[in-house]
Amino acid sequence: MSLNVEHVSTRTLPSEKPLRLLDNAGHAVTGAATGGFGLPDTETLLGLYRKMVVARRFDVQVTALTKQGRLATYPSAYGQEACEIGSVAALTAADWLFPTYRDTIALLTRGIEPADILQSFRGDWHNGYDQHAHRTAAQATPLATQALHAVGLSHAARLRRDPIVALTFLGDGATSEGDTHEAFNFAAVWQTPTVFVVQNNQFAISVPLERQTRAATLADKAVGYGMPGYHVDGNDIAAMYAVTRAAVDRAREGGGPTLIEGVTYRIEAHTNSDDPTRYRTARDVEHWKRRDPIERLEKYLVSEGALTEAMRTEIADAAEALAARTREVMTTEAELDPLELFDHVYGRERSALVEQRSALEAELAAGAFAGHQGAAR
């Protein structure tokens, strides 16, 4: 696998045609279009394939549960599996991930349990998993704010001489936010081990890319900050993995930050409360469905004789088992303690919160909320 990126000049604009290692028909790409990156080995690709299939099934299951009213909201990542998983798979367990609200399947790839991942979308608490154990920050809802956290954390790690990289996801819309600029600039000036992955899924809710930027590619922006930028086919997980892996290795070796744009498409609505038929055509959606990231890799692996029918069955069974487990935990009501509302605001006791806690406790004792278990449901 060729991951040598020494030749990359930070003043060279990314290619306008997205870099790819597998074409839409699942054929290995050769020549200039690969940007000098090599196709990951078959075992790596099989692992990525499995992760994508399982994540897709999970996403479909959660969307169904949302329609049944089991989740307050869910931003689907259907169609973005290559971006999400290809990037995250390039990290080690010691590296940190700074995800956004759409990156649920990236959390799954980090080994976080469905019940913990979905706690926030169900409405039980803002975040349900252990950040330090999984080296995964809480999903950020304000756009681009978490990119600065990734820069700060990776800078701190570097000051401590810890070989840790932080990767953060941004959407195409988020690149218009001021914090994106500040994060890119701080990372480049401080040469922090940070990897920025922009998942360009073409729409910020309903606003298309051409109303978000006049830049030829979002990866072009890297040049202005003095860091390498890559314009990548975001539905080609081989390319997303190889490019991210190179950026992660380079960051770990003190080479500073990298911006990677994965060009992809959000097949589902923004969230369950969105109506995408108002801003895009069925024809567009069909066009992108034919560029499915899972089918592409599957065609390649089958043509290579690497993916057998038995393996497909085994992977499908694993995906079904996860979906079943997800259904089970999401149809079980979590025990919520209203008094915990006061437990995680400050580290030291505050008399005002002690008083308010007592007042709620008295109301609960008096049966003021009897029969209620969360207003949202």
Asked whether the beta carbons of 7 and 222 are under 8 A apart, the reply is no
Which residue, 252 or 312, has its beta carbon nearer to another protein? Answer: 252
Asked whether the beta carbons of 266 and 76 are under 8 A apart, the reply is yes
Check binding of 112 to another protein (CB under 8 A). Answer: no
Which residue, 17 or 350, has its beta carbon nearer to another protein? Answer: 350
Check binding of 162 to another protein (CB under 8 A). Answer: yes
Among the listed residues 201, 268, 266, the one whose alpha carbon sits nearest the alpha carbon of residue 64: 268
Number of CB atoms found within 10 A of residue 355's CB: 10
Which residue, 154 or 201, has its beta carbon nearer to another protein? Answer: 154
- Confirm whether 149 is a catalytic residue: no
Give the nearest distance from C-beta 152 to another protein in angstroms: 3
Which residue, 138 or 285, has its beta carbon nearer to another protein? Answer: 138
Query: 226: helix, coil or strand?
Result: coil
What's the CA gap between 90 and 127, in Å, rounded? 24
Which residue, 150 or 227, has its beta carbon nearer to another protein? Answer: 150
Q: Which of residues 172-201 bind another protein (CB under 8 A)?
A: 178-179, 182-183, 185-186, 189
Q: Count CA atoms within 13 Å of residue 53 on its CB side.
A: 22
Query: 24: helix, coil or strand?
Result: coil
- Binder among 283, 346, 367, 376 for another protein (CB under 8 A): 346
Check binding of 219 to another protein (CB under 8 A). Answer: no
Check binding of 244 to another protein (CB under 8 A). Answer: no
Among the listed residues 52, 86, 55, the one whose alpha carbon sits nearest the alpha carbon of residue 195: 86
Which residue, 290 or 344, has its beta carbon nearer to another protein? Answer: 344
Check binding of 347 to another protein (CB under 8 A). Answer: yes
Catalytic residue of the set 57, 149, 155, 270: 270
Q: What is the DSSP string of 253-303?
A: TT---EEEEEE----S-SSTT--GGGTS-HHHHHHHHTT-HHHHHHHHHHH
Check binding of 36 to another protein (CB under 8 A). Answer: no
Give the nearest distance from C-beta 10 to another protein in angstroms: 17
Give the nearest distance from C-beta 155 to another protein in angstroms: 7
Supply φ then ψ for residue 18, to 5 degrees: -60, 140
Tell me how far apart the terminal alpha carbons of the chain are, to the nearest angstrom: 51
Catalytic residue of the set 134, 181, 279, 357: 279
Among the listed residues 96, 82, 79, the one whose alpha carbon sits nearest the alpha carbon of residue 195: 96
- Confirm whether 372 is a catalytic residue: no
Check binding of 93 to another protein (CB under 8 A). Answer: no
Asked whether the beta carbons of 100 and 271 are under 8 A apart, the reply is no
Q: Which residues are catalytic?
A: 266, 270, 279
Query: Which residues contact another protein (rule: CB under 8 A)?
Result: 125-128, 130-132, 137-138, 140, 142, 145, 147-157, 159-160, 162, 166, 178-179, 182-183, 185-186, 189, 343-348, 350-352
